[in-house]
Amino acid sequence: MEISGVVVGTYLVILVLLAVYGFHRSSLVFLYYRHRDKRPRAIGTFSDLPAVTVQLPLFNEMYVVERLLDSVAEIRYPRDRFQVQVLDDSTDETQEICQRKIAELRRRYPDLDIEYVHRAIRGGFKAGALENGLRTAKGEFILIFDADFLPLPDVLDGSIHHFLDPRVAVVQCRWDHVNRDFSALTEVQALMLDGHFMMEHAGRNRSGRFFNFNGTAGIWRRAAIADAGGWQHDTLTEDMDLSYRAQLRGWKFVYLPEIAAPAELPVEMSSFKSQQFRWAKGSIQVALKLLPTILRSNATFAQKSEAFFHLTNNLAYPLLVLLSLLLLPNLVFRTHHGWREVLMIDLPLFFGTTLSIASFYLASQREIELLRNPDAPRRVQWSVLRRLPLVMSLGIGLCVNQTRAVLEALLGRETEFVRTPKHGIRLKLESWSSKKYRAAKSITPFIELAMALYFAVAMGAALQNGHYLSMPFLALFLCGFGYVGCVSLWQGGVGLALRSWAKRLVPARAAFSPRAHVVPARSAPARGVPILVPPAFTRLGQSGGAPSSAHNATIELDIHDMERAVAEAMPTPPPLPRAPTRLS
């Protein structure tokens, strides 16, 4: 067989496999609408509410821990049956911030039972902290929140009563996003998570398939944790692992999309990639650990097949990398294929994949809109359509990062639980670049840029050979790899070096620029320029009381952020000379 036949054949097989996973995504949309009216209903209400323990696993969360504790302290529940456990494995200032905040809450809420648990050795990471906390937990039910969440006061009002059914092990709430509009990256993340929580979770749960607790914003029955074998830390997704073990034991899970739990999305590309890496590697680890047991169990065929697609979904990323590498040879070898071959093979596979993604996210946003306003009119969601190309490009651009995660899992390489850096960012003009926590550096962005260059060459070959219908497909890959790689480098070491160089030019520019209206009272610190926050932005700290030292009302902006803010506030430069003024 000629090498051209092998390349083209392999390319088409991979495209078919990817289309299968794409069509599976569409099947979840079908399952959701088929079982849309099967909303979980509590069989009654507790006459005497049970004891609840709130577990807050932390590791170096100095920017968000105070607002988390403020939010948890305001949860409505009888205080004599409500316990808060701060499970702090931190090695930095978070310890002091936690203890100071806990002392403040004890003064403010004398009847609040709040316990601080610190481990000097972080054995088992998050799973180890949760298991350790159970030793002193008083509650029959365990409500868990990660540090980046801001639980609402009524989170237990509509969820705890589902446990009146003794078969229920978990009630999971939907994630919401406090900084959705911060950037294009956070908007895309919000779309991706909304699709997961509306279409996937609801479709699986209402149709009787298995689905997983997401590690936060959910309540566990303590007896179910013990019955399923407890928290185990041999995978990076201890939540998914315990979820499948519990459901194999016959426990029932409930998903309530109408109860939202606001949280912060990663604003840094490398942090987002680190989070996605952990989820991808963990899911493959769980597949290797539990999938044989699931397939041999007495679960239904529908449950087994859905568990297979759920746990192996990240195998699509290595397939996507192979497809990427074969695209250019495929274009070179397929120089004589005609329009009939394109219409019968390429276009159906391409549109079958892309249209399934589009319908998935459009449907999820529509359903979330109906949750917020049941009488909302049906209309074209232009804001979603505008971001769909970036959603697809980002998914493609992540494939190098995710492929590394999948290969590490398949090869049995164990790594520690790397938590996602959180910066307490909620407003567009807030800067995170001066914050202490950053994702680890990696060679991955350079590989992503090399892939972008590869697709630039592929587009040239497509034009030369007349493959005009392939251009949109190739453009998605070029933009995806280019966007992820460039943003990773700009927000990382390369961008930091360029921003440092720009800051050194500020004194000279400020001396001659008529736009230099922001003059600090003293020399600017090395990490940024202090700007007086407009009154509208001071509301940031009001939800949790006065602004704290970790997140006070004065925001430090980078030079480019400062210039943008000043330009928007005062678009017309004043005449010179003029005494400098402050942004008010």
CB contact at 8 A, 393 and 476: yes
* CA angle 425–571–553, rounded 5-degree value: 30
Q: Which of 88, 89, 176, 194 is catalytic?
A: 89
* Sequence-ordered strand ranges (E) for 132-228: 141-144, 168-177, 218-221
CB contact at 8 A, 157 and 75: no
* Closest to 20 (Cα-Cα) out of 346, 353, 402: 353
User: In the numeric block, which tokens belong to residue 295?
Assistant: 């397939």
Length of the chain: 584
Handedness of CA 14, 15, 20, 22 (dihedral sign): positive
Q: 42: how many CB neighbours lie within 10 A of its CB?
A: 18
CB contact at 8 A, 133 and 116: no
CB contact at 8 A, 170 and 256: no
Q: Which residues contact 323 (CB under 8 A, 6 or more apart)?
A: 11, 14, 15, 18
In angstroms, the CA 219 to CA 140 distance is: 10
Q: Which of 239, 241, 346, 558 is catalytic?
A: 239
Q: From residue 220, how far is each of 212, 214, 228, 263, 580 by CA, in Å?
A: 12, 11, 12, 20, 58
CA dihedral 243, 244, 248, 253 (to 10 degrees): 40
User: In the numeric block, which tokens belong to residue 322?
Assistant: 């192979």
Over 402-468, what HEC string results? Answer: HHHHHHHHHCCCCCCCCCCCCCCCCCCCCCCCCCCCCCCCCCHHHHHHHHHHHHHHHHHHHHHHCCH
CB contact at 8 A, 279 and 193: no
CB contact at 8 A, 66 and 548: yes
Strand order in the sheet with 52-58: 113-118, 82-88, 52-58, 141-144, 218-221, 168-177, 252-263
User: In the numeric block, which tokens belong to residue 1?
Assistant: 């067989």
Q: Is 239 a catalytic residue?
A: yes
In angstroms, the CA 551 to CA 88 distance is: 20
| Helices 347-372 and 184-195, axial angle in degrees (round to 10) | 90
Q: Is 92 a catalytic residue?
A: no
Q: Please identify every residue annotated as catalytic.
A: 89, 239
